[in-house]
Amino acid sequence: MSPSARSSILPHLALMLSMLVWSSTFIGLKIALSAYSPASAMALRMGSAALLCLPLLPRLLRAMKHPAVRRVLLFGVLCEPCLYFLCETSALRHTSSAQAGMVLALLPLTAAAGARLFLGENMEGRAWLGFALALFGVIWISCGGEVSESSPAPLLGNALEALAVLCATGYTLCMRKLSAVLPPLLLTAAMTFAGTLFFSALSLLPFSAEPVRLAVTVPDWMPAAAILYLGIAATFGGYGLYNYGIARLSAGRAAAYTNLIPVITLFMGVFCLNEHMTPAQYLASVLVVAGVMLSQSGRALREEHAHA
pLDDT at residue 184 in the model: 86
210: left (phi over 0), alpha (psi -120 to 50) or beta: beta
The per-residue pLDDT for range 145-204, each reduced to its tens digit, is 667 776 788 778 888 998 999 999 999 899 888 988 899 889 999 999 999 999 999 999
Integer Cα distance of 50 and 198 in angstroms: 13
The per-residue pLDDT for range 37-72, each reduced to its tens digit, is 989 999 999 999 999 999 999 999 999 999 999 999
Q: What number of CA atoms fall less than 13 Å from residue 234's CA on the CB side? A: 24
Q: How far is CA 7 from CA 2, 176, 278, in A?
A: 9, 18, 40
Backbone angles phi, psi at 148, to 5 degrees: -150, 180
The per-residue pLDDT for range 102-123, each reduced to its tens digit, is 788 778 778 877 887 887 777 6
Average pLDDT, the chain: 83
User: What is the pLDDT confidence band of residue 1, given thresholds at 50, 70 and 90?
Assistant: low
- Of 5, 54, 27, 32, whose CA–CA distance to 209 is shortest? 32
pLDDT at residue 83 in the model: 97
56: left (phi over 0), alpha (psi -120 to 50) or beta: alpha
